[in-house]
């Protein structure tokens, strides 16, 4: 009953959504509610509009995003979460290509799922020993690749490369498409590359409302790129679903992006808590790189990652771990509230005091 394609697919595994009450630090959700303007928009939404199809291109939202990003509306594409935008991008720019797509060997695991879904393969570029991207190796792979996808900052490592290093990769790939996935860029010290799309026709920057704007439940993401790239995304979209962004999501996303002050306050609070969490983890002996995301990627020399994850879960704290050779002893821990951080550090201090475990 299944197609040959369906039989070969290995789906992405989403982060656990616990049913019981926990301190949930495993899916990089924002610990703060959306802008009050979102609640006002929901309260004032005319339910009668639901009988009509939404604008297939979410033009009002595209205009709001374009104004915020400093680009033209024709440089913006909106989809049902950045995962859908990425999926359309893989289909539009890499689908069925003979040459592989260059990605890091430790990065967002959905990239390989998208590649297999659209009949492509990935060329994995190993991260350096300090978990940084190998910029020279990426550039060297350009001739033998159909394009590249780079998470900036990278997930799950939490590290961002310099803007010049990423643009160097874009230049090396010439006219080929390089997707820069900026899901966590609002928490980074490195500025977004969106302002460079006019200089680099192959550059596509993908962003989301899920993390910094607290709209993970609304499902809205967007891409910024040259008109040729955006038109290709619209063509692919219309081969799947002409209306990926529903009317309520478009309205609340527009409200969220209009409230810049609230957005900046939330980001500042998360960055401050991230700093305190990092200091607290290091005081307990953890190795924690300087994060540019709303999570940290921590390992302890005396404790295995699986052991720590299970012991935290026993104490009501849920974190994420990836069972891949290079990172299986690291925990990806979302930055929560100050109270969440207190509970996390207290639980880990208790675990560390109890002895070692693998």
All structural domains of the chain, each given as residue ranges with its CATH number in brackets, are 4-30+261-354 (3.90.1150.10), 36-258 (3.40.640.10)
Cα separation, 73 vs 352, whole angstroms:
52
Are 156 and 183 within 8 A, CB to CB? Answer: no
Q: What is the mean pLDDT of the chain?
A: 95
Cα separation, 311 vs 323, whole angstroms:
17
Whether 356 shows a pLDDT value over 80: the answer reads no
Other C-beta atoms within 10 Å of 64: how many? 20
Q: Which two tokens stand for residue 49?
A: 């509009």
What DSSP character marks residue 100?
P
Are 300 and 286 within 8 A, CB to CB? Answer: yes
> Over the stretch 6-44, which tens digit does the pLDDT of each residue have?
888 888 777 778 777 789 999 999 999 999 999 999 999
Beta-bridged to residue 147, according to DSSP, are 101, 177
Question: Mapping DSSP to helix (H, G, I), strand (E, B) and coil, where does residue 111 land?
Answer: helix
Beta-bridged to residue 104, according to DSSP, are 125
Question: Mapping DSSP to helix (H, G, I), strand (E, B) and coil, where does residue 235 land?
Answer: helix
Are 277 and 341 within 8 A, CB to CB? Answer: yes
Beta-bridged to residue 206, according to DSSP, are 181, 223
pTM as predicted: 0.96
Cα separation, 45 vs 69, whole angstroms:
26
Cα separation, 235 vs 245, whole angstroms:
15
Strand pairing class (122-125; 101-104)? parallel
pLDDT at 353: 93
> Over the stretch 149-203, which tens digit does the pLDDT of each residue have?
999 999 999 999 999 999 999 999 998 999 999 999 999 999 999 999 999 999 9
Q: Which among 222, 106, 119, 229 is positioned nearest to 177, based on CA atoms?
A: 229
pLDDT at 357: 65
Torsion of CA 228, 230, 234, 236, to 10 degrees: 70
Whether 106 shows a pLDDT value over 70: the answer reads yes
> Over the stretch 291-326, which tens digit does the pLDDT of each residue have?
999 999 999 999 999 999 999 999 999 999 999 889
250 Cβ contact list (under 8 Å, min separation 6): 54, 55, 58, 60, 61, 78, 220
Position with higher pLDDT, 15 vs 107: 107
Are 55 and 65 within 8 A, CB to CB? Answer: no
């Amino acid at each position: 009953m299944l197609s040959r394609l369906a039989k070969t697919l290995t789906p992405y595994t989403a982060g656990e959504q616990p049913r019981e009450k926990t301190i949930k630090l495993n899916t990089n959700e924002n610990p703060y509610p959306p802008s009050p303007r979102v609640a006002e928009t929901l309260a004032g939404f005319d339910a009668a509009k639901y009988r009509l199809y939404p604008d297939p291109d979410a033009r009002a939202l595209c205009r709001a995003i374009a104004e915020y990003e400093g680009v033209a509306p024709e440089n913006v594409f909106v989809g049902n979460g950045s995962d859908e935008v990425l999926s359309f991008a893989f289909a539009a720019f890499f689908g069925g290509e003979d040459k592989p797509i260059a990605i890091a060997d430790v990065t967002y695991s959905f990239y390989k799922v998208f590649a297999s879904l659209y009949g492509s393969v990935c060329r994995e570029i190993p991260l350096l020993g300090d978990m940084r991207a190998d910029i020279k190796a990426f550039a060297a792979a350009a001739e033998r690749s159909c394009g590249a996808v780079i998470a900036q900052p990278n997930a799950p490592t939490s590290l961002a490369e310099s803007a010049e290093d990423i643009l160097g990769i874009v230049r090396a790939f010439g006219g080929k498409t390089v997707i820069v996935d900026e899901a966590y860029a609002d928490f980074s010290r490195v500025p977004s590359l969106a302002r460079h799309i006019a200089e680099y026709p192959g550059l596509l920057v993908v962003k989301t409302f899920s993390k910094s704007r607290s709209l993970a439940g609304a499902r809205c993401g967007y891409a910024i790129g040259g008109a040729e790239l955006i038109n290709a995304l619209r063509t692919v979209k219309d081969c799947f679903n002409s209306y990926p962004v529903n009317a309520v999501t478009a309205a609340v996303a527009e409200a969220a992006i209009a409230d810049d002050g609230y957005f900046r306050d939330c980001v500042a609070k998360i960055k401050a808590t991230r700093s305190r969490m990092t200091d607290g983890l290091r005081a307990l002996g953890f190795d924690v790189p300087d994060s540019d995301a709303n999570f940290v990627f921590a390992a302890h020399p005396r404790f295995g990652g699986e052991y720590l994850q299970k012991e935290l879960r026993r104490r009501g704290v849920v974190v994420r771990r990836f069972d891949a050779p290079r990172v299986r002893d690291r925990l990806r821990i979302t930055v929560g509230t100050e109270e969440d951080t207190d509970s996390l550090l207290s639980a880990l201090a208790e675990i560390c005091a109890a002895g070692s475990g693998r």
